Amino acid sequence: MTPKRAATDGLRDPIPISLVAHWVFCPRRAWLEAAGEQTDTHQVAVGIAAHASVDEPSTGRPADRHSVEIADERLGISGRCDAVEGGPDGALTIVEYKSTPVRRSPTVTEAMRIQLALQVLALRSTGAVVAAQAVYFVNHRVRVDVPLSADDFEAAAAAVASTREVIEAPQAPAALEDDPRCAACSHVGICLPDERPEVEIHRRIVVDDPGTQVVHVASAGARASVRDGRMRVEHRGEELASIPLEKIAGVVVHGNVDLTGGLIRELLWRSLTVVWTTGTGRVVGWSVPGTGPNGAARVQQHEAAAAGRLDLAKAFVGAKISNQATLLRRNGEAPAAVDVLRSLQGRAAAARSVSEVLGVEGDAAARYFGSFNTMLTPRVRGLGITFRTRTPHPARDEVNALLNYAYALLLGDVVRAIVACGLDPHAGFLHSASRNKPALALDLCEEFRAPVADSVVLGAINNGEVGPDDFSTVLGATRMRDRGRRALIAAYERRVESEFRHPVFGYRTSWRRAMEIQARMVLGVIDGTQSRYVGIRIR
C-alpha cells in the first residue's frame, strides 16, 4: 500500500497544523481528517466573522491581520493563523479562535497549546518575533493568554513526526473505547466508535442534529440560483423558496428545472450532492465534489467489487427479504407468502454464489409483489386502483408509477450517503456494474425498499394523499401529475426524517441518517476496520 500523502515533486507534502492538533486530540481523528473526512467548519467561520467585526481599529484595538498563511519547511508544516496582532516592526501576538460550545468551559487544551507552538515556530522561521499567544473563545467572548515553554515547542515538533506516521499508515487507528473524548469529538458521526462492535448501544453518544434539510425543486420551469448566501428558487419572476445555504444537506432536482452554474459550484464547494431525476422518477445523474474523502478505500472498493464479496451480497438480500416479509405481515393478508419469504431468507443466507443469491431474490420478489395488492385497502381497490404485477419503466398502473418514483427518491438519498463517505456508487457486490447502473447504490437500497419506499407508497395511497386524479395514462404508460408527485415527495420526506429504533445498535435514528450509517458500515468492511456487514431488518 502506498503512503496516503505521496509527494509529487520529490518533497514531502506539508502537514496542516490543524491536523497535528487533531492528532493530539485523537490519532484516529487525524487519520480520518487526512483521508478527507472533514466536518462542518461553518460554526468556526461564523465565530471568526463575529469577532473580526469587534476588532475594528475604530474601537482602539491593534490592527489585526486575519487568516495569515504560514509554513515551516524544516518541520514540514503549513497552516494559517486566525489573527496576528502587532507589527510590522514590533513583536507579534498570535490569536487562535475557538468555537467551544458555551456548555463547556473555555479551557486551553493540550491540542491548542501544540497548535499555537507550531504557529509560533512557523512565524519565527520567517524571522518574525512572536511575543505572545492567546486563544479567543468566540462563544464565551473570553480571551486567554497562553505562555509557552521550551517543553511545549519540543512536544509540538514531536507531535508533527507522530502525526506524519499515523496519517501515512494505510489503515485508520482503532476507535477509542468508552472514552470521554468521543462525546466531544467533531468526527463522532463519521467515526462511529460505538457502532463498530455491532452490539446494542446502551449509552449512546448523541450526534448533534445538523438542522439541515434535503431541498427538492419540483416546479417545472423553475430556476434555482445562489444570492447573498441563500439558494433562491424562482418561477416567472415569483420567488418560490429562499433557503440559507448552511441549512441545506443536499438538493434533488425533479424534471425541467434549471440550476445556475454559480449554485452548482457553491454546493460542490460545500461537499453537497445534487441529484437530478426525470419527471417520471428516473435518476439521471448526480454531482460529486472533487475533494471527496477516502480515496484509498475507493480503490479497495473497486478491487473488492472485481473479486466479489458474497458476504455483502447475502447481507443485502437477506435484509431485503426479511423487510418484505415484515411489511407484508403487518399490512397484508397473505400469511402463506410471508412464510415462503421467511424460508427464502434462509436460502439467501446459505447461498454459495452471487447468482444463487440473485435467484433467491427473484423468487422473493415474485412472492412479495404477488401479494402486494393485499396491502391496498378495500377503499383504494374500490377506486379502481389495483396492483397486478411489478412493471418498472414505463409504469403500467398507478401503484407502479408511485413505486418507480419512490425508488428514485430512495436511490438519490442512498447515492448521497455513499458519496458522502467517499465510495463509488457504481462498484457494487450484488448488482452488476456491466449494465452501467449504480451497482453499490442499488445494493444498499435493497434493505430500505420495503420499510421506506414501499411503506411511503402504501401510506400515500391508502391514506388518500394521492388518488386516481393524480395520474394520467398515455399509450399504456401511467405517470403522476404534478400534485401527486408533490404529495409523494412530502410523504417520502416525512418518512426519511422519522425515527425508528436501529435493530443492531438499539438507539433511535432517522431513516436518512441510517442510510449513511449503513454506507459507513460497508466502508468499514471494505477498508478492513469492520468484521462484517449487518443489514437493517425491521421487526
Nearer to ligand SF4, 29 or 520 (CB): 29
Nearer to ligand SF4, 447 or 527 (CB): 527
Distances (CA, A) of 132 to 87, 119, 149: 12, 11, 11
Binding mask 278-317 for ligand SF4 (x = CB under 6 A): ----------------------------------------
Binding mask 28-67 for ligand SF4 (x = CB under 6 A): xx--x-----------------------------------
20 touching ligand SF4, by CB under 6 A? no
Stretch that binds ligand SF4, among 26-34, 53-61, 112-120, 163-171 (CB under 6 A): 26-34
Rounded CA separation 454/449 (Å)? 6
> How many residues of this chain bind ligand SF4 (CB under 6 A)?
13
Nearer to ligand SF4, 32 or 344 (CB): 32
Nearer to ligand SF4, 111 or 430 (CB): 111
Nearer to ligand SF4, 188 or 341 (CB): 188
Exposure pattern of 252-267 as b/e (b: 16+ CB <10 Å)? bbbbebebeeebbebb
Stretch that binds ligand SF4, among 23-31, 251-259, 318-326, 506-514 (CB under 6 A): 23-31
- Provide the minimum distance between the beta carbon of 523 and ligand SF4 in the complex, in angstroms, as a whole number: 14
Rounded CA separation 500/454 (Å)? 16
Q: Name the DSSP class of 57.
A: G
Residue 73's CB: how many other CB atoms inside 10 A? 12
C-alpha closest to that of 39 among 53, 51, 25: 25
26 touching ligand SF4, by CB under 6 A? yes
What is the DSSP secondary-structure string of 403-451? HHHHHHHHHHHHHHHHHHTT--TT--SSS-GGGTS-HHHHHHHHHHIII
Residue 164: half-sphere exposure toward Cβ, Cα within 13 Å: 14
Nearer to ligand SF4, 118 or 188 (CB): 188
- Provide the minimum distance between the beta carbon of 178 and ligand SF4 in the complex, in angstroms, as a whole number: 10
- Provide the minimum distance between the beta carbon of 500 and ligand SF4 in the complex, in angstroms, as a whole number: 23
| Binding to ligand SF4, residues 147-206 (CB under 6 A) | 175-176, 181-182, 185, 187-188, 191, 193
In this structure, what are the phi and psi dihedrals at residue 214, rounded to the nearest 5 degrees? -85, 125
Nearer to ligand SF4, 30 or 354 (CB): 30
Nearer to ligand SF4, 193 or 412 (CB): 193
C-alpha closest to that of 137 among 172, 101, 182: 101
- Provide the minimum distance between the beta carbon of 1 and ligand SF4 in the complex, in angstroms, as a whole number: 21
Rounded CA separation 126/130 (Å)? 11
Nearer to ligand SF4, 207 or 284 (CB): 207
Rounded CA separation 453/411 (Å)? 10
Beta-bridge mates of residue 221: none
Pair 253, 275: CB distance under 8 Å: yes
H helices, E strands: number in the chain: 18, 18
- Provide the minimum distance between the beta carbon of 188 and ligand SF4 in the complex, in angstroms, as a whole number: 4
Interaction site with ligand SF4 (CB under 6 A): 26, 28-29, 32, 175-176, 181-182, 185, 187-188, 191, 193
